[in-house]
Amino acid sequence: QKEVEQDPGPLSVPEGAIVSLNCTYSNSAFQYFMWYRQYSRKGPELLMYTYSSGNKEDGRFTAQVDKSSKYISLFIRDSQPSDSATYLCAFSMNRDDKIIFGKGTRLHILP
Amino acid sequence: DADVTQTPRNRITKTGKRIMLECSQTKGHDRMYWYRQDPGLGLRLIYYSFDVKDINKGEISDGYSVSRQAQAKFSLSLESAIPNQTALYFCATSDLRPGQNEQFFGPGTRLTVL
């Protein structure tokens, strides 16, 4: 079983739609759950960060962690063309630990 | 100005050549990382350094070496480049923050080995 699984897409949705991006993981020791966004020809940048379980909201973005199912999600409300990017889920066991990245999902928001 | 810079941004080289990729940061972070990114394989850690005297192998260190010349500089070398080292290479930095484990990435170096 792979440590992290993420559908590579591409995922194309119309502007204004709600987007749901997901990752599953197998390592129950992960405690830090992150979403990075990577625009074309750029390095990844941290978008959302959650410690342990639960939801976290930041503007149009909501990160959700379900540790019992080993499943994390990123929701984007009122999606915009500027949200078109690759979204990588990321995990670590503690603050000192290396980050394990998913392979990324390419998202296209159609005007 | 960018906090994490990488040089060169693009490089084409031939099999067997020695290549050095350089990373500099002005964030004052102690921790620096080198990743490669390949389509379908995602980001994979090559080497990392938690301070100037600390160097650690990552997931895929074979064929690579690194040097941490100063807190702000971390270079990656390919002693004898081979075509399957063609990839996008990223440098990243981090620092311990309460409740976080964020890495800051440079813009990447696109390396092609012919």
Distance of CA A86 to the CA centre of its chain: 9
pLDDT of residue B96: 73
Rounded to the nearest angstrom, the minimum Cα separation between A11 and chain B is 15
Do B108 and A32 make contact, defined as CB atoms within 8 angstroms? Answer: no
pLDDT of residue A79: 97
pLDDT of residue A73: 96
Do A46 and B99 make contact, defined as CB atoms within 8 angstroms? Answer: no
Query: Looking at the complex, does the CB of residue B40 fall below 8 Å from at least one CB of chain A?
Result: yes
What H or E segment, with its residue span, contains residue B14?
Answer: none
Do A34 and B41 make contact, defined as CB atoms within 8 angstroms? Answer: no
In the sheet where B73-78 sits, what is the strand order?
B4-7, B19-25, B73-78, B65-70
What confidence category does residue B9 fall into, taking pLDDT thresholds of 50, 70 and 90? very high
> In order along chain A (111 residues), what is the average pLDDT of each group of 10 residues?
87 97 95 94 92 89 94 97 96 85 96 92
> DSSP secondary-structure letter at A31?
-
Phi/psi region, residue B40 (left: phi>0; alpha: psi -120 to 50; beta: rest), is left
Query: Does residue B98 surpass a pLDDT of 70?
Result: no
Judge contact between B34 and B46, C-beta under 8 A: yes
In tens, the pLDDT along B11-64 reads 999 999 999 999 999 999 999 999 999 988 889 999 999 999 999 999 999 999
Query: Looking at the complex, does the CB of residue B10 fall below 8 Å from at least one CB of chain A?
Result: no
Nearest chain A residue to B56, by CA: A98
Size of chain A in residues? 111
Do A42 and B108 make contact, defined as CB atoms within 8 angstroms? Answer: yes
From chain B, the residues in CB contact with A6 under 8 A are 42
Query: Does residue B99 surpass a pLDDT of 90?
Result: no
In tens, the pLDDT along B51-96 reads 999 999 999 999 999 999 999 999 999 999 999 999 999 999 998 7
Distance of CA A62 to the CA centre of its chain: 10
pLDDT of residue B58: 94
What confidence category does residue B107 fall into, taking pLDDT thresholds of 50, 70 and 90? very high
From chain B, the residues in CB contact with A31 under 8 A are none
Do A43 and B96 make contact, defined as CB atoms within 8 angstroms? Answer: no
Query: Does residue B97 surpass a pLDDT of 80?
Result: no
Do A46 and B43 make contact, defined as CB atoms within 8 angstroms? Answer: no
